[in-house]
Amino acid sequence: MDSIYIVGGNRLTGEVKVSGSKNGTLAIMAGALLAKGPTILENVPRITDVHTMMEMLQELGVRVRELEPNTFEIDATDLQSHEAPYDLVKKMRASFCVAGPLIGRLGYAKVPMPGGCDIGARPVDFHVKGLQMLGAKVTMEHGYVEAKADKLKGATIYLDFPSAGATQHIMTAACLAEGVTRIENCAMEPEVNDLAEFLIAMGAKIKGGGTSTIEIEGVDEMRGARYRMIPDRMEAGTLAMAACITRGDVLLTDCSPEHCSAMFKKLQETGVKVIEGPDWARVIADSRPKATDIKTMPHPGFPTDMQQPFAALLAVADGTSVITENVYERRFKYVSELGRMGADIIQEGRTAIIKGVPKLTGAEVSSSDLRAGAALIIAALAADGRSEISGVEHIDRGYERIVDKLASLGAEIVRREAAPETSARMA
Ligand code: EPZ
């Protein structure tokens, strides 16, 4: 397995392009199953989660090919299989969302229940409830969800929590249903609205994308479309925080500031200057960050995915910050790793109390999930000395060429085969 090696202390400056959205791409790729005909997706990030979803589609009989870097053609005309393979769903939860489109196209879906992960149990009960309310006969046994329906029928579905995945999943399932579906208390994440725009481009009839109520009027057939992925707001936030912790000055291009509003507002509270353009943002930090409090919430609140990277910045802030994680039940696994670098963080349940320290020190640390890995990279960029970050496979899931991007901004960062375990360390 590879590791990322960083020597902290360099100030990040310059310009960097933000890649296409991981979470937007995964939902849209599942939605592409609805169409007979080729769909062309542009600005697709080349990351392992996208590769896993491509494999999933190919297993289902979908033709997938990369026309040029970051541009993929997906043609689900000859969709054959209704069964998603366990080894792929196990790797990536988002692939569970192929169930709805499969029922819409084939009348049947057999998809493994995704397991939990390091940030929470992540059940799929809202997804299943939605499919059942649309008329699917759902059984759950032997670790699989099987859902059957000759034709799904529109329904009004209230979500107990504005789940992004459940909103996206039900929206795609409803596109080929008979009649009108209303999803109430639905998610308003930019990636949800972007999926609605994509489905409309394929011929769906959808109103209310980006609001808390979405209405879908079923159609008989959908066609392929050409569509460009929106910028990845989580990568934008990660790069912004990396710039800030090094007291740098970085221009983020192909970025959508309106999607990053909560993040940028909280960065400004720490004393960072954020200048916003239509499709760019410049972050300038020239002093130690000030402490601030974070409460993660569904969009437009502060995004849970940025909680971990922000904690790394607050670890060196002037003062004490409190982070409250309201979306997942256990998204603080990185705290102990930051502690190895000298951070002073106490975690109690869904709250982390961060007493800022003047400096972190480089250390050997391990990333447990995608955003925890981002937090460790951010911390290492400002730490005294050298850090080795293992578990890079988690980071590869959602960050395209992150090492190259940070190096281009002046970071002393390389990726190499992990140093072989020495016997001493083995002991
Ligand atoms: C999406 O996950 C993102 N992943 C997550 O990003 C993100 O953290 C999350 O939305 C919240 O914004 C993708 O889009 C691929 P949810 P999703 O359904 O859809 C509970 C990253 O780092 N819940 O909005 O799975 C769930 O347990 C990843 O890029 C149920 O209880 O998130 C969680 O506590 C991590 N039952 C809360 O809702 C359900 O049926 C929010 O989950 C579904 C969800």
Cβ 376 vs Cβ 337: under 8 Å: yes
Ligand 1 centre to CA of 122 (Å) is 7
> Could you tell me the two tokens for 2?
């590879």
Residue 39 placed within a domain: yes
**CATH code of 381's domain:** 3.65.10.10
Task: Give the model's pLDDT for residue 109.
Answer: 97
Q: What is the SS3 assignment for 91?
A: helix
**266-270: long-range pairs with CB below 8 Å, 24+:** 266/292, 266/294, 266/302, 266/310, 267/240, 267/241, 270/244, 270/313, 270/314, 270/317
In this structure, the strands spanning 222-223 and 35-36 are parallel
Domain count, the chain: 2
Which of residues 5 and 91 earns the better pLDDT score?
5
Ligand 1 atom with least separation from CA of 189: 12
Nearest Cα residue to atom 25 of ligand 1: 165
Q: Which of 228, 252, 278 is the last residue of a domain?
A: 228
- Residue partners of 169: CB distance under 8 A and separation at least 6: 30, 96, 97, 99, 100, 127, 130, 131
> Could you tell me the two tokens for 218?
């079923």
Regarding whether 182 and 222 lie in a shared domain, the answer is yes
Which among 382, 385, 326, 392 has a CA at the least distance from the CA of 356?
382
Regarding whether 298 and 260 lie in a shared domain, the answer is yes
Which of residues 91 and 338 earns the better pLDDT score?
338
Quote the pTM value.
0.96
Residue 131 placed within a domain: yes
Contact residues of ligand 1, CB 6 A cut-off: 22-23, 26, 93-94, 120, 122-127, 161, 163-166, 187, 189, 234, 304-305, 327-328, 370-371, 398
Q: What are phi and psi of 42, to 5 degrees?
A: -105, 160
The tens digit of pLDDT for each residue in 256-281 reads 999 999 999 999 999 999 999 999 99
Q: Which of 228, 244, 279 is the last residue of a domain?
A: 228
Distance of alpha carbon 361 from alpha carbon 382, whole angstroms: 8
Ligand 1 atom with least separation from CA of 23: 14
Distance of alpha carbon 155 from alpha carbon 78, whole angstroms: 29
Q: What is the CA radius of gyration of the chain?
A: 22
Regarding whether 248 and 166 lie in a shared domain, the answer is no
Distance of CA 97 to the CA centre of its chain: 15
- Active site (annotated) includes residue 255: no
Ligand 1 centre to CA of 6 (Å) is 31
Q: Which of 228, 246, 270 is the last residue of a domain?
A: 228
Regarding whether 294 and 412 lie in a shared domain, the answer is yes
Regarding whether 285 and 210 lie in a shared domain, the answer is no
Distance of CA 408 to the CA centre of its chain: 24
The tens digit of pLDDT for each residue in 351-370 reads 999 999 999 999 999 999 99
Residue among 97, 117, 244, 260 flagged as catalytic = 117
Name the residue with tokens 């192909």.
254
Ligand 1 centre to CA of 94 (Å) is 9
Task: Give the model's pLDDT for residue 426.
Answer: 42
User: Residue 94 is part of which domain span?
Assistant: 22-228
What band does 427 get if pLDDT is binned at 50, 70 and 90? very low
Which of residues 180 and 423 earns the better pLDDT score?
180
Query: By mean pLDDT, which of 81-90, 176-185, 300-309 is the weakest?
Result: 81-90
Regarding whether 376 and 334 lie in a shared domain, the answer is yes
Q: Looking at residues 113-142, what average pLDDT do you find?
A: 89
Regarding whether 200 and 61 lie in a shared domain, the answer is yes
